[in-house]
Amino acid sequence: MSRHTAILDYGCGYGRSMKELEQHGFGNLTGVDASPKMINRARRLHPTTRFTALDAPPALPHPDAGFDAALLFAVLTCIPGDEAQHRLIAELNRILKSGGILYISDLLLQDDERNRSRYDRHADHYGSYGVFETGDGAVCRHPREWFSTLLAGFQTIDTRTITVATMNGHESTGIQILARKPTSA
């Protein structure tokens, strides 16, 4: 990848990943997020990078096949429904060039007592084990065997399981997936 590689960070927050990529020499960077407040903060912190607040997620105001790579850092956890996740992946597929890269880093279904308890507590309400509410009212999802179905239109290049610290300091099992949009014939 070169400095001119077009990279989209979907769910960029205030631009931490964009800053890292810029420091590593990438210059064609775009961040999008559903939170206008996060985007305003990102623009103040990183004035040379393009940031857009999404009006109707997951729809992107970008042309088909306009990006070489798309990044999802802890985004799928914030989208509890299957159909909504499918719509997001379809939208990223639309904006990725043939042979483009999709990178996902997210959390998996956890096996500790705290998480099992909250999965059990919310399973009937949401109709799915692994979907739960946080103390501040957010609805989150930790999937089990979902990524192969979700990414069926992509070629998986590599997958690894990692340990990550959550925002509240708990250690959680995460996954990193590197996938490629198939090249057009």
Residue 178 banded pLDDT, cuts 50, 70, 90? very high
Q: Which CATH class is domain 6-107+144-180?
A: alpha beta
- pLDDT above 90: residue 184: no
* Amino acid found at 38: M
Average pLDDT, stretch 72-78? 95
pLDDT at 170: 83
Please state, as a whole number, how many other Cβ atoms lie within 10 Å of the Cβ of residue 58: 21
The string of pLDDT tens digits covering residues 119-147 is 999 999 998 899 999 888 899 999 877 89
Spans of all domains in the chain: 6-107+144-180
- pLDDT above 70: residue 1: no
- Report the first-to-last Cα separation within the chain, whole angstroms: 22
pLDDT at 83: 94
- pLDDT above 60: residue 108: yes
pLDDT at 185: 54
What distance in Å separates the CA atoms of residue 106 and residue 173, rounded to the nearest whole number? 9
